[in-house]
Chain A
Amino acid sequence: MDENKKSIMIKKESIIASFYKALKSFGLALPVLLGVFLLLGLFKIYVSSELISSVFTDGLLRDTALGSMIGSFSAGNPITSYIIGGELLKEGVSLFAVTAFIAAWVTVGVIQLPAEATILGKRFALTRNALSFIFAILVAIATVVTLKVIR
């Protein structure tokens, strides 16, 4: 009986620790998220759809590559990329560019490159990031084309 109680107590502590860890991880991302929310507010008021359209010119490959490039240079919690991507989509940016942006956000890490190269090796880090950049473009094109076919 005591053993049972002990194991229940350990499980309880472990569950509490897991959720505490989750809250802590989320807390770490909170300042960036708040900053992003505030920037999006500015973006909504000051950046017009015309301005965005002038950057993303409806050229499929150019827009997708541009989305992948911006995603590669961005870093942080993927939630941020979904929020920015979703808002960009509402502003009229093509789904090709937004998908490439989201895919590159996590898979390519120009800012994290020094850390990755130091721990996992320069050659590996450079090859992996270059390939991920190309794949972000290809994945975006494949995803949007597939969606167009199945819808």
Chain B
Amino acid sequence: MKSNKKEQMKERNKNLYYGFFFLGVVLVLYAVLFFFDPENICGSLQASLQIIIQIFPVLIIVILIMGIANYFLKPKVVSRHLGAESGVKGWLLAIFIGILSHGPMYIWYPLLKDLHDQGMRTGLVAVFLYNRAIKIPLLPIMIFYFGISFVAVLAIYMVIASVLEGVIIDTIERRTKVRRKDA
């Protein structure tokens, strides 16, 4: 567990470093372009500011929902309910918890590996990871850009795709095991 935490910290620092590096590159790009085309660069800054002002209220809602999700959903809760022989309940839980889970994907890799080692179906790991695409705290921002009907239809198809992906991965694994036994 300790090494998992260390790996998460390392990955988090790496991401933060990447974030600042990315921001630095963009700022340098702005500085360079400012020498050649100051007028358009001022226009670009104004356009950026406009986007930030538009998005700001939605970002506040996102942070609030993230806080609520943090309070109710802990990795321990997830591991308690996703057993090996969970059947249909397992599939439904993988979908549900995948949707409700928060934070970057890499945070969940070690937990999923632990669960898989304890007997969690490989298909369920895929289902969990796929459903992380539907993020309830981020839905306000998605609705803001694409509308509620788009978000609803996309979410339904994402859930269907996640199950299909899980079934395919399980089938591939089963066939590989049979082939290995035969060989």
A interface, CB within 8 angstroms of B: 14-15, 17-19, 21-23, 25-26, 28-32, 34-35, 37-42, 44-46, 77-79, 82-83, 85-87, 89, 95, 99, 102-103, 105-107, 109, 112, 115-116, 119-120, 124, 127-128, 131-132, 135, 138-139, 142-143, 146-147, 150-151
Contact = CB atoms under 8 A, between A and B. Distances in A.
Contact of B71 (A15, A77, A119): A15
B44 A107 contact: no
8 cross-chain pairs, A with B, having the tightest CB-CB distances, nearest first:
A86-B145, A41-B48, A31-B19, A18-B70, A19-B67, A22-B66, A18-B71, A41-B44
Contacts, number: 178
Interface of B: 11-12, 15-16, 18-20, 22-23, 25-27, 29-30, 33, 40, 43-49, 51-52, 55, 59, 62-64, 66-71, 102-106, 109-110, 112-113, 116, 122, 125-126, 129-130, 132-133, 135, 138, 141-142, 144-146, 149-150, 153-154, 157-158, 161, 164-165, 168-169, 172
Nearest to A28: B16
B27 A38 contact: yes
Main secondary structure of the interface of A (DSSP, over half): helix
A112 B125 CA distance: 16
Contact of B63 (A26, A87, A150): A26
Contact of A128 (B15, B68, B149, B165): B165
Contacts of B116: 120
Nearest to A150: B149
A45 B40 contact: yes
A105 B105 CA distance: 12
A122 to B, nearest CB: 13
Contacts of A131: 126, 165, 168-169
A79 B58 CA distance: 10
Given A19-B63, A38-B27, 5 more contacts: A31-B19, A32-B22, A106-B105, A124-B122, A143-B157
A17 B154 CA distance: 33
Nearest to A15: B71
B41 to A, nearest CB: 8
Nearest to B112: A120
Nearest to B43: A45
B1 to A, nearest CB: 14
Contacts of A15: 67, 71
Contacts of A102: 154
